[in-house]
Homo-oligomer: A and B are copies of this chain.
């Protein structure tokens, strides 16, 4: 592989067997989903994204946007004004993705308490001695 490490998601050697994993690899990055969500309402500027997504660094914002753009999930439009202005917008395909992600959100919200309790119970079960520290 003659390509240097550009920070872009490297291509897989053995193609994915499972299509679910394929999506996840695209979306499992720490910031991908939040960008998709933030951009779902319409075109949005770089700085708006940066301000809207708590804790994201400029680097990761750029990197994640590039990957999304590479996969055809966002479009990048540069307006050659001064100061420069760049807008990102979800493609129709990404809009679909965003809708299915919404199902996941629903699931998470319906079951977040259940999961939290399961965790708590499990942890108590396995590490009871840590309770009196």
Q: How many copies does the complex hold?
A: 2
Q: State the CA gap A15–B69 with chains docked (Å).
A: 29
Given contacts A28-B28, A100-B107, A118-B71, contact A21 B2 (CB under 8 A): no
Contact A20/B105 with A2-B130, A3-B130 known, Cβ cut-off 8 Å: yes
Check B19 against A108 for contact (C-beta < 8 Å): yes
CA distance A8 to B73 in the complex (A): 33
Minimum C-beta distance from A1 to chain B (A): 10
Q: Considering only CB atoms and an 8 Å cut-off, how many residues of chain A contact the other chain? A: 48
Instruction: Flag if A21 contacts B3 (CB, 8 Å).
Output: no
Interface hits, A76-133 → B, CB 8 Å: 93, 96-97, 100-101, 103-112, 114-115, 117-119, 122-123, 127, 130, 133
Looking across the interface, which residue of chain B has its beta carbon closest to that of A32?
Answer: B24
Report how far A129 CA is from B123 CA in the complex, Å. Answer: 54
How many whole Å from A121's CB to the nearest CB in chain B?
Answer: 8
